[in-house]
Structure 1
Amino acid sequence: MASINNQAQDRRDIKLLVLDIDGTIAGHDNQVSATVKQAIQAVQAKGVKVAIATGRMYCSALRFHQDIKSTLPLVAYQGAWIQDPSNQTIHRHLSVTREIAHQLLDYFEQPELRSLLSVHFYINDQLYVREITTETESYAVRCGVTPFPVGDLRQVLTNEPTKVLALCDDANLIRELLGNLRLQYTPAELYMTTSVATFFEATNPFVNKGTAVRYLAEELLGLESNQVMTIGDNFNDVEMLEYAGIGVAMGSAPEQVQAIANWVAPIVENDGAAIAIEKFLL
């Protein structure tokens, strides 16, 4: 586990708190608990800005942004889409090229994979799928979105997707998929990660939560990284945990994620985010 410089980073220095949603402030019930909301409100009352950074669609993350009364732009799609709900300004939208989206689709539709994967294309904050699978239904219910089944996904690639996702209930297959595709594409061509063990996600190579949090902190608020605290629970949170002066991993995070964090909080069901906020900011 990484150490925090100057003993526990002077809590008065933290001016920005950035929170992941799933597994961090929202557990199995898909809600932010009263305890976590109270902790967030307490730091906001001290003048600390609070933001959301999630792999979710913008439309899916919006209710959480409103729930915690954030006044900052919302970071969605791992940072590929940053939009201010107060005035609808889109600060950033970076997409996957049509060429690579076609290549990924060809890969996912190999005979040995086609029946095992549900493939999601996110275009203009809408979800397009080949067909509605059980996995897609579960995803749509949790995220509160409506998927559009279109048969051949190539027909929606007149526009570049913000994100490409492949999911199935076999975490080993997703891990194998990630390993194979990392041999095919360099980090300069495609950013690939998992937000949960059964989700393979691909975005523009300049996209990750770290660059998005840096944008909020440095470009919008004029802060430095040591004035930022981030809390997350999975591999897609690594870059923002590394960027921040205080990076907190949840107790449910994979060991590799916990290892790069400054501190590990209890799991979301035990209000770990609230405990971390209390420890470092209150």
Structure 2
Amino acid sequence: MPIRLIATDLDGTLLRSDMSVSERTRTALDRARAAGIHVVPVTARQPHGVRMIAEAAGFTEYALCGNGAHGVHLGTGETLFEAYVTEAAQRSIAGALSKRVPGVLFVSVREGGQVFVAQEGYAEMAHFEDHKRHPAEMETFRLDDVLAQPSLKFIVRHPSLTPRELLFELNALKLPGFAVTHSGAPFLEVLAEGVSKAWGLAKLCELLGIDHSEVLAFGDAPNDAEMLAWAGRGVAMGNAESEVIAAADEVTLTNDDDGVAAVLEHLLGQAAWG
């Protein structure tokens, strides 16, 4: 089947380590779009974080944000779909995990990613790169306020435990009603039950009339694994984590070596760069 849609993660995949889009990568993306192929960022970022690099990457159409929970058209601002973590699931997580792992803190991301409700003490742990938001500008709230409304993404963070360690503790509780992943950032990302990048990509492809066999997907982090397994052709970056490589059909170069561009050049029958 021909490729009709390219789905690409951003951080650690399309972007170099300095957060730039290389000239080689931009050229490959433009040639794919000129060939009539949709190029869709599929990211843990919220829309404002995608827009920070949209001009450099040439993104003007569809984007899947919040690990697939939020489909949006960047040009029109239209929301295609959203999936929210329930208040009940959030309260269950916060209550049980706080007892099991004292010191854990939470954030609720709401309303298309525009509202960021962080628990008191969270800003002191955060850096701009975590959420593409300046910690000094984060308004902080009591835990009850964080849990008071459903979330597009519910963030769980501990000052000393790694995301993998925190995931082990959360999974040990065997709580129902949500999905959880991590993207390489220093926290867990809780989503509505059943939601993943694969889920969001399937929703978009259904809207566009595209079969999964016509999708080429790129990723590097654990939150990309399901998407690479779902796509007709899943490509792990050379810097990808082991579970992502296991889910992929093939491995390309690292993000700093323009691994996405290398695959697209071959796909489009172009000569190698340089």
Q: By the TM > 0.5 criterion, same fold?
A: yes
Q: Give the RMSD, CA atoms, in angstroms.
A: 2.3
Residue in structure 1 matched with residue 178 of structure 2 by the alignment: 190
Q: 1:275 to 1:86 in 2, by over 3 A?
A: same
Partner of 1:223: 210
Q: Of 118, 128, 135, which residue of structure 1 is paired with 2:125?
A: 135
1:207 is aligned with what amino acid?
A: V
Matched with 1:18 is: 7
Give the deviation of 1:98 after TM superposition: 0.8
CA shift in 2, pair 1:132/1:165, >3 Å: closer
Query: What TM-score, normalized by structure 1, do the two folds share?
Result: 0.85
Match of 1:205 among 193, 200, 205: 193
The question of 1:160 aligning with 2:145 is answered no
Which residue is 2:41 aligned to?
Answer: 52
Identity of aligned residues (%): 25
Cα distance in 1 for partners of 2:77, 2:157 equals 30
Taking structure 2 as the reference length, the TM-score comes to 0.87
Distance 1:168 1:23, change over 3 A: farther
Provide, for residues 199-246 of structure 1, a one-character-per-residue CA deviation record: whole Å limited to 9, x for no partner: 2111101311111111222x2221111111000111101111011111
Given the alignment of the two structures, is residue 245 of structure 1 paired with residue 235 of structure 2, yes or no? no
Q: Secondary structure at the match of 1:266?
A: coil
**Contact kept? 1:118, 1:135, Cα under 8 Å:** no
- Once the two structures are superposed, what CA deviation does each residue of 1:45-74 show, in whole Å capped at 9, x if it has no partner? 111110010011121112334432234321
Distance change >3 Å, CA 113–CA 34, structure 1 → 2 = farther
Letter aligned with residue 167 of structure 2: L
Report the AA paired with residue 250 of structure 2: W
Q: Identify the match of residue 235 of structure 1 among 189, 210, 222.
A: 222
Q: In the aligned structure 2, how far is the partner of 1:207 from the partner of 1:262? A: 22
Structure 1 unaligned residues grouped into runs of 5+:
1-9
1:100-111 equivalences under 5 Å are 100-110=89-99
Aligned residue pairs, count: 265
Residue 185 of structure 1 and its aligned partner are, at CA, apart by 4.0
> After TM superposition, what 4+ stretches of structure 1 lie above 4 angstroms from structure 2?
144-147
Change (3 A) 1:206 1:98: same
- Relative distance call for 1:237 and 1:158 in structure 2 (3 A) is same
Alignment of 1:26-37 (within 5 A): 26-37=15-26
